[in-house]
Structure 1
Amino acid sequence: MDQTADIVIIGSGIGGASLAYSLADSGRRIVILERGEHLRDTPEARDDKAIFLKGFYRSTEEWVGTDGETFLPGNYYYVGGNSKFFGAVLYRYRLEDFSPRQHMDGASPGWPITYNELEPWYERAEAIFKVRGDASQDPTEPPRASPYRFPPVQDEPAIAAVRARLNKAGVHPSSLPLAIDIDEWLRRAKTGWDAFPNTGSGKIDAEAGPLAAALRHGNVSILTGANVLRLETDPAGQQVIAAVFVKDGVEQRISAGVFAVAAGAVQTAALLLRSANAAHPRGLANGSDQLGRNFMNHNTTAMLAIDPLSANTSVYQKTLAFNDFYNADPETGFPLGNVQLLGHITGNILKANAPLLPRWVAGLIARNCYGWFLTSEDLPNPDSRVTVSDGRIVMHWVRSNMQAHETLIRKTRHVMRKAGFPIVLTRTFGRKTTSHQCGTARLGNDPQTSVVSTDCRSHEISNLYVTDASVLPTSAAVNPALTVAALAIKAGAAIRQG
């Protein structure tokens, strides 16, 4: 079964949906291939027991570590991708993230483009995701051509009190930039949104934001349940001519003039590696041998700050962060990372992450705790990589910069105790936590050291683009979603001109 299109986009997450939105009014026939289905609204969508304890939405796909052990990576395969479950935090990378700089355990190489070059595309991305924020509150906020279009999501009373306590402790709490319609979210159920699936329009994820806007154009369509097996090129390997996919057990083929892969940093690398042929024996777009390499996955820790004398009465909680240690820790001089609230921790969520904890103890702790998410930059390393063996994804993550992350934990623990939280518990996450995977097809000007150009186009195959977190040269220390969206919208402008 053969089909045709002008542009084929593989993946409907942040990168794929943002690219479709950027191209939707071009008049070209755009087909999005998505391996997942639409996430339907069911009672489980707001049931913390079903989501966290029973793993109702968890994928059964296993990856293999280089130690031979298999694991469930925690990726989600639905229309909208992982953004269906994200915390809706849409930070811009900081100005300093685009320049080379020294870290405690190595160096970050910087970007081939500047923040100022990406700033107009950040603005377009914020508009389609309806990001709410207040740039004046955060000293690390980069320069902006215009303020946020919408005010920040309001702190609940319990969180307003935490903000005041943090101010007294000497840090600068600031409102998180959020893609949330809070009234719409709470109308469905009184829960947080962090790690809860979005089955409506309360969380502006990839589906509710750019994909919905793109699909309003008659020339844009999405084919769900379409698992792409490989890309085929012409005999010379100069152009991609078709994507081969399986839908409903039947192998199909679609041809187009332009192909964009946006399946996620791991799946995109795996697809291009699986597509190796005589002209590209190491995988498509891999003349540099950098495809699959430089994998990054943020160093992250969950922290519980507990005040036995003060109950946490919040519902959603996730409105606050501080970046005092982001660019330069006053003590060491090194960048350490971001500290932001998690969604409200319930007893069931706590029990899911600490199975040996008696349920009544989990409930007692949850009543008086505030969950924080600490993020530090993972540095690119060509030995940290994704490969494919016997059709299975093999992960070799070489963790880096952990001294900085441990310092961030220590500094944040001190802040919490100074703010009046006498009990502080931490848990550092490992490879099973998909903490913003990126870097496996990085962009750059030199075809010998990068996979795609600064317009996200393959150096080797003129009609092949990559528009997801694969292209990020560095991971910075904030959620990369807005940066991915900005780059994808920028790539759309380049495709139009081409």
Structure 2
Amino acid sequence: MTGPFGAFAVFGPRSPRVVGVLDDDTVRCDVAVIGSGMGGATLAHALRDSGARVLVVERGDFLPREDANQSPTEVFLRGRYKNAEQWYDAATGRPFQPGVHYYVGGNTKVFGACLPRFREQDFGTVEHEDGASPAWPVTYADLEPHYAEAERLYRVHGETGHDPTEPWRSGGFPYPALPHEPPVARLAEAMSAQGLRPFPMPVGVDLREGGTCVRCRTCDGFPCPYGAKSDAETCAMRPALSSPTVRLLNRTTVRRLLTSADGRRVTEAVAERDGSPVRIRADRFVLACGAVNTAALLLASASERHPHGLANSSGLVGRNYMVHNSTFLVAVDPRRRNPVDFQKTLGLNDWYNAGPSTPYPLGNLQMLGKIQAPMVKAARRSVPLPVLDLMTRRSTDLYLTTEDLPDPANRITVGPEGRIDVHWRPNNLRPHRELVRRTARMMRRAGYPVVFTQRMGIETNSHQCGTAVMGADPARSVLDPDCRAHDLTNVWAVDSSCFPSSAALNPALTIAANALRVAAKGSVTA
């Protein structure tokens, strides 16, 4: 079969535009997008009518829809869908299983579908206890129309007028907020009785008229067998593949990028598909591998012209790695069960900014999807499963996030044979401990006498960002404000690697909005 990319054989029922058996080891296109997660899939969707031949390269395959998608034992205890290689804690040399997933759609296949905008002030300089969070080279106003477009694309349900920190908007949410189930509604009332202002969390699920969402317990952290979660495959990648000029090359890992003789342009990507060599030749390359893997690819592409890695004249590629300070808080009322199904509908930002009760920002509180015993067992293997079941049937579960600050010493390096080493020392911890303390006190006052907490460590890195920051000064950034590499004429990055700061909120919607902003600039297809 012959198409705009040359000869290829299509395979499988999933899409007629998934590249199958190659005639030779070279694929040609105008724009090569490396990674199909929130950034890459959204960019491909935005470019679908541009006329450019877009090839999305994904190291994983489609995550299967199967009964095991909804099994806490399979997903959490047995790690059925964890398919990333081991990374290493540089401080100890210890290997660990990172919280990333290599599938079409990337980490969004198992994300919690929480899709808030960053606050307007998050794009400026923010003072924290351990230092300042730097300003972005773009403003909230620059991103606002793209936030609105991303909310439509990812079917975001929400409601304005409740969150005391919400930024201004050009319009309302595309869909109404998900209603609280009775246990969550009671918690919201208890928060309000304490003088707090809970609000409906913006959530991306298909709860439209005729939608496929069934509001189950197996959403946050699980793949969705119904296609109801607003992940990047469902909402962006599959619709993009309806264009005759967008193709997907799955099961393909890019190992390095090669440049022209003068070192100013990337000419091809050297990759492997199912163990066989593949070369991808394009006029323009967009990196969307996730903050760690984007940095690792640039570093692994060192050459005589770029001895310290591509786009790295500033020495900042891989540095300023941020992952948030995060804690799971499980509050238990032994007197009653919590029958909730879809728990992740409530948030609290009363302590997000500095205020009268604290000189520095503390962060965000949001509900977790309902915790179940096998989900806890992996972290508490010594506790019998019946005991965990007894606890989790009576628990209400929250996720607390405090901003961590960019630190050049927190970085990603590439070791022998492409081994990824993570150098990470958390910072800004005292505000996080205060957020945990206040939340635990609030939950006890709300009728939960027993509170358990667990702060997340180096393995919990689904909110990774900051390893190839954008900025106006080439000496202090890797990318320009339009996310093009300062050192290269035809390379961009549209994942969270470009973030100068991490805020204290889920990054997914901001990744999507920024990818739409970059696409709207037109330089990727010029």
TM-score with structure 2 length normalisation?
0.92
Moved over 3 A (4+): 182-187
Q: Is the 8 A contact 1:35 1:228 kept in 2?
A: yes
2:113 aligned with 1:88, yes or no? yes
Q: Is the 8 A contact 2:205 2:213 kept in 1?
A: no
Identify if the C-alpha distance between structure 1 residues 383 and 348 changes in structure 2 by more than 3 Å, giving closer, same or farther.
Answer: same
Per-residue CA shift, 1:337-387, capped at 9, x if unaligned? 000000011122222332111111111111111010000001001111001
2:322 aligned with 1:276, yes or no? no
Task: Return the alpha-carbon distance in structure 2 between the equivalents of residues 102 and 9 of structure 1.
Answer: 36
Q: Is the 8 A contact 1:381 1:398 kept in 2?
A: no
2:396 aligned with 1:370, yes or no? yes
| 2:322 corresponds to | 296
Q: Is the 8 A contact 1:336 1:405 kept in 2?
A: yes
Q: How does 1:184-203 map to 2 (within 5 A)?
A: 184=211, 186-187=213-214, 190-203=216-229
2:429 aligned with 1:429, yes or no? no
Q: Is the 8 A contact 2:158 2:200 kept in 1?
A: yes
Q: Is the 8 A contact 1:439 1:473 kept in 2?
A: yes
The counterpart of 1:323, out of the listed 349, 367, 372, is 349
Larger displacement relative to structure 2 (55-64 or 274-283)? 55-64
2:76 aligned with 1:47, yes or no? no
Q: Is the 8 A contact 2:114 2:201 kept in 1?
A: yes
Task: Return the alpha-carbon distance in structure 2 between the equivalents of residues 47 and 185 of structure 1.
Answer: 19
Q: Is the 8 A contact 1:91 1:177 kept in 2?
A: yes
Task: Return the alpha-carbon distance in structure 2 between the equivalents of residues 298 and 329 of structure 1.
Answer: 21
Structure with the larger helix share: 1
Task: Return the alpha-carbon distance in structure 2 between the equivalents of residues 314 and 286 of structure 1.
Answer: 49
Identify if the C-alpha distance between structure 1 residues 152 and 112 changes in structure 2 by more than 3 Å, giving closer, same or farther.
Answer: same
Task: Return the alpha-carbon distance in structure 2 between the equivalents of residues 102 and 132 of structure 1.
Answer: 31
Q: Is the 8 A contact 1:184 1:201 kept in 2?
A: no
The counterpart of 1:285, out of the listed 300, 311, 327, is 311
The counterpart of 1:337, out of the listed 363, 367, 389, is 363
Per-residue CA shift, 1:65-122, capped at 9, x if unaligned? 2121111112100000000000001111101111112111111112111111111111
Q: Percent identity among equivalent residues? A: 44
- Gapped runs of 5+ residues in structure 2? 1-24
| 2:122 corresponds to | 97
Residue 86 of structure 1 aligns to which amino acid in structure 2?
A: F
Identify if the C-alpha distance between structure 1 residues 356 and 330 changes in structure 2 by more than 3 Å, giving closer, same or farther.
Answer: farther
Task: Return the alpha-carbon distance in structure 2 between the equivalents of residues 93 and 441 of structure 1.
Answer: 19
Post-superposition offset of 1:58: 1.6
Q: Is the 8 A contact 2:494 2:514 kept in 1?
A: yes
| 1:222 corresponds to | 248
Task: Return the alpha-carbon distance in structure 1 between the equivalents of residues 359 and 273 of structure 2.
Answer: 53
The counterpart of 2:163, out of the listed 130, 134, 138, is 138
Identify if the C-alpha distance between structure 1 residues 470 and 179 changes in structure 2 by more than 3 Å, giving closer, same or farther.
Answer: same
Task: Return the alpha-carbon distance in structure 1 between the equivalents of residues 290 and 280 of structure 2.
Answer: 21
Post-superposition offset of 1:41: 1.2
Larger displacement relative to structure 2 (448-457 or 159-168)? 159-168
The counterpart of 1:69, out of the listed 91, 94, 105, is 94
- Residue 26 of structure 1 aligns to a residue whose secondary structure is coil
Identify if the C-alpha distance between structure 1 residues 203 and 409 changes in structure 2 by more than 3 Å, giving closer, same or farther.
Answer: same
Residue 137 of structure 2 aligns to which amino acid in structure 1?
A: P
The counterpart of 1:17, out of the listed 27, 38, 41, is 41
Task: Return the alpha-carbon distance in structure 1 between the equivalents of residues 120 and 460 of structure 2.
Answer: 27
Task: Return the alpha-carbon distance in structure 2 between the equivalents of residues 26 and 456 of structure 1.
Answer: 19
Q: Is the 8 A contact 2:30 2:53 kept in 1?
A: yes
Task: Return the alpha-carbon distance in structure 1 between the equivalents of residues 84 and 112 of structure 2.
Answer: 22
Residue 286 of structure 2 aligns to which amino acid in structure 1?
A: A
The counterpart of 2:478, out of the listed 438, 451, 454, is 451
Larger displacement relative to structure 2 (285-294 or 158-167)? 158-167
Post-superposition offset of 1:425: 1.1
- Residue 326 of structure 2 aligns to a residue whose secondary structure is strand
The counterpart of 1:473, out of the listed 500, 508, 521, is 500
| 1:178 corresponds to | 203
Post-superposition offset of 1:162: 1.4
Residue 242 of structure 2 aligns to which amino acid in structure 1?
A: R
Task: Return the alpha-carbon distance in structure 2 between the equivalents of residues 242 and 427 of structure 1.
Answer: 44
Residue 131 of structure 2 aligns to which amino acid in structure 1?
A: G
Per-residue CA shift, 1:153-174, capped at 9, x if unaligned? 1111221111111111221111
2:421 aligned with 1:397, yes or no? no
Larger displacement relative to structure 2 (127-136 or 467-476)? 127-136
The counterpart of 2:51, out of the listed 8, 20, 27, is 27
Q: Is the 8 A contact 1:74 1:432 kept in 2?
A: yes
Residue 144 of structure 1 aligns to which amino acid in structure 2?
A: R
2:27 aligned with 1:3, yes or no? yes
Per-residue CA shift, 1:459-498, capped at 9, x if unaligned? 1111100010100000000001111111111111222573
Per-residue CA shift, 1:43-71, capped at 9, x if unaligned? 21000111111111122511112121111
- Residue 375 of structure 1 aligns to a residue whose secondary structure is strand
Post-superposition offset of 1:309: 2.2
Q: Is the 8 A contact 2:84 2:98 kept in 1?
A: no
Q: Is the 8 A contact 2:100 2:462 kept in 1?
A: no
Per-residue CA shift, 1:291-315, capped at 9, x if unaligned? 0000001100000111122321101
Residue 412 of structure 2 aligns to which amino acid in structure 1?
A: V
Task: Return the alpha-carbon distance in structure 1 between the equivalents of residues 379 and 113 of structure 2.
Answer: 21
Task: Return the alpha-carbon distance in structure 2 between the equivalents of residues 224 and 260 of structure 1.
Answer: 16
| 1:266 corresponds to | 292
The counterpart of 1:159, out of the listed 184, 195, 203, is 184
| 2:515 corresponds to | 488
Post-superposition offset of 1:185: 5.3
Q: Is the 8 A contact 1:303 1:373 kept in 2?
A: yes
Task: Return the alpha-carbon distance in structure 2 between the equivalents of residues 340 and 30 of structure 1.
Answer: 37
2:379 aligned with 1:379, yes or no? no
- Residue 156 of structure 2 aligns to a residue whose secondary structure is coil
Count of residues paired in the alignment: 497
Residue 441 of structure 1 aligns to which amino acid in structure 2?
A: A
Task: Return the alpha-carbon distance in structure 2 between the equivalents of residues 9 and 357 of structure 1.
Answer: 45
